[in-house]
Amino acid sequence: MALGRRFKVGLVALAAVAAVTVAAAPVQAGQLEYVALGDSAAAGPLIPDQDPNLLCLRSDHDYPAIAAASLGAKLADVTCSGAVTADFANRRFGILAPQFDALKPTTGLVSITVGANDSGLFQQALSCINLLPEPAGLSCADRLTAGGKDPLADSVRAWGPKLGEALEEIRARAPRAKILVTGYGTYIRRDGCHPVQPVWARDANYLQSVMNLISSTAREQAQAHGATFVDFASLTVGHDICAAPRDRYLEGLIPAHAAAPLHPNAQGMAVFGAAIAKAAR
């Protein structure tokens, strides 16, 4: 128990050191101040090198870092793996400051990737694994849509207004900022690629349809609240988890590169960062 307490204290100390380091970086005259908000699809868990703040599994080669380098911007990257929209306004783990706290009146650019964890999609995706072909298993699509219901789609629709409220709060805190809202990638192509990725065709189509709904909802909220939508889905067509490892921007259940399963890899982050930089100009 004593060792566990010391480990937890150590993590808190690392988080504090990381926060102080970011705050101490000077802003050059006329330099763009960029704040990145969001979840693991922005943070880049397991992509080298990882931030000393181990609570967020954030890479120094995530798309915000790539975009900031391209723009010559000062970056405040508060993206955090596992984040939901509520973490923008509330402390995560009871330790990390709300992501909104990084915003200032002088902030000139904000990017946001969020929604997948709010919907529960990634948690449910693991229940869609079937190592054997049909009918030797259970379809997650059939289970989740039984009786004409679709709880994942319902959760996405309930999340949409929360994103809209977040965008209004960003505007209030950073009135000069250009706000970029991203969607998510095309994680798996039509009908999947069983057994390369052990998900049946109908389940692959269902999972991607939910991801598409998250992205389209983000687009709608961005348009309704004066933000710019950046489409990652089109950038990842042909570079999904079914692609040859050298062509993947998104990793499968067993990653072929240093990245978390079902997340962007360094190659994908480079492409996303370039898209963010282009949209910011």
Residue among 61, 194, 239, 263 flagged as catalytic? 263
**Given the residues 40, 59, 119, 215, the one annotated as active site:** 40
Q: Is residue 168 within 8 Å of residue 225, measured between CB atoms?
A: yes
DSSP string, 109-177: EEEEE--HHHHTHHHHHGGGB-SSPTTSS--HHHHHTGGG--HHHHHHHHHHHHHHHHHHHHHHH-TT-
Task: Answer whether 32's CB lies under 8 Å from 109's CB.
Answer: yes
239 given a catalytic annotation? no
To the query of whether residue 81 is one of the catalytic residues in this protein, the response is no
Confirm if 195 and 151 have CB atoms less than 8 A apart.
no
The tokens describing 216, both together, are 């389209």
Rounded to whole angstroms, how far apart are CA atoms 68 and 46? 20
In contact, 183 and 232? CB cutoff 8 Å: yes
Catalytic residues, by residue number, are 40, 263
